[in-house]
Structure 1
Amino acid sequence: MNYQYILFDLDGTLTDPKVGITKSVAYALDKMNIEVVDYPKLDLFIGPPLQESFQAYYGLNEQEANEAIGYYRERFKQHGLYENEVYPGIEILLETLKKKGKTLAVATSKPTVFAEKILQHFKLAQYFDVIVGSNLDGTRIAKAEVIHEVLLQLSSPDKSEVIMIGDRKHDLIGAKKEGIANLGVLYGYGSNDELALEEPTYIVSNIEELDSILTN
């Protein structure tokens, strides 16, 4: 299928944000007087909405989760934004897609303001027609809501021409709810079992395979 509109998740798909996210989560938990004993567990925070993760993995209630998010952002906006790396091959892929006339967008659960700063810092913002994330007030955190807003900003294109790319189940579920094709990448933070369970349109292991599907 020749997709004209290509939506990318940010964390675990365009960039590897592990250091910035996990250090900021650890900072927030410390502020909440919660000792982190299993640091690999913090990788689970990469991708899903923060409120969901603080509640699911550390048993915080809604109010506590919101307080933890405040501490997280305290560190993240100063340091965590830039403790990040663009996956090798991503910029070349984006440049190739733009040269082929594709319309590219970012659909992330990360607050839009942070997503924009990250993409500008790594000089990737130039490739995207639309960048949409969640709101700082805690609204529009579900991936389906983010994708819906992206499609509105793209003037509601034919959904058969749109594909969503991400590394976690939330990306695939959100795409299905919006009636568009989806593609799971295994070089990020979602396992094959997690992604396969959602029966995505495609699963790829690396950026070379992603390039093959999107450019051919």
Structure 2
Amino acid sequence: MREFGLNAAATQEAIKVFQAYYAPKGLYENQLYPGMRETLAALQAQDLQLAIATSKPEPFAKKAIDHLELSDYFSGVFGASVDETTRVKKADVITYALSELGLSPQTAPLLMVGDRQNDILGAKQNAMNAVGVSYGFGTIAELKKAGAVQIVQQPTELITSLPANLKF
């Protein structure tokens, strides 16, 4: 709404148009960043529990992860509601994911990895630290301003960065 100056009705129409494209075609156009599969395997080998908290509608996110053959790396894939009226804000999606996984920042070391300010700010609202990734859609300046505890340039850097940042 903010980016394009849309009112509520126009926003709902835009969501419908996007979903009409994304469901049958767009989600299958996703590609992994180089080194991502190896990074996920290495993190899993370190006994880290990995989950996805995305602002994409949850069914689409699950299909995309299945299509990319990544489901075995994650304890869960959590996203926005399909109508995009609940769990729209990243903080709400993270809260939902933590609840579904039975996790809490007070009882376990948790860390968000994200490429946009919403990821970093959503983590903060859930009392979590966040590592920014500059290979996504956001900028380094955006991630720094939001308060990322660290910014990495490529997926493989997460292999050493995540365990180091998971301290009480």
Same structural fold, with TM-score higher than 0.5 when normalized by the shorter chain: yes
| TM-score normalised by the chain length of structure 2 | 0.91
* Alpha-carbon separation, structure 2, partners of 1:143 and 1:157: 16
Following TM superposition, by how much is the alpha carbon of 1:100 offset from its aligned partner in structure 2, in angstroms?
A: 1.7
How far is the alpha carbon of 1:141 from its aligned partner?
0.7
Confirm whether residue 151 of structure 1 aligns to residue 98 of structure 2: yes
SS in 2 for 1:57: coil
Q: What is the total number of aligned residue pairs between the two structures?
A: 162
**Larger CA deviation: 170-179 vs 88-97:** 88-97
Q: Which residue is 2:55 aligned to?
A: 109
Task: Please tell me whether the aligned partners of residues 58 and 80 of structure 2 are also in contact (alpha carbons under 8 angstroms).
Answer: yes
What is the aligned-residue identity percentage?
Answer: 37
Matched, 1:173 2:124: no
Report the Cα offset of residue 214 of structure 1: 2.2
C-alpha root-mean-square deviation of aligned residues, in Å?
Answer: 1.3
Q: CA deviation at 1:156?
A: 2.3
1:191 aligns with 2:142: no
Unaligned runs of 5+ in 1: 1-54
1:23 alignment counterpart: none
Helix, strand or coil at the partner of 2:151 = strand
Q: Which runs of 4+ in 1 moved over 4 A?
A: none
CA deviations 1:87-106 (Å, max 9, x no partner) are 11111111111122111100
Work out which structure has the larger RCO, using CA pairs closer than 8 Å and 6 or more positions apart in sequence.
1
Query: In terms of mean alpha carbon deviation, does 179-188 or 95-104 score higher?
Result: 95-104
Aligned counterpart, 1:202: 150
TM-score with structure 1 setting the length: 0.72
Distance, in Å, in 2 between the alignment partners of 1:149 and 1:56 is 25
Task: State the Cα distance separating 1:190 from its structure 2 match.
Answer: 0.6
**Residue 123, structure 1, aligned to residue 69, structure 2:** yes
Which residue in 2 is equivalent to 1:75?
21
Question: Can you give the 5+ residue segments of structure 2 that lack an aligned partner in the other structure?
Answer: none
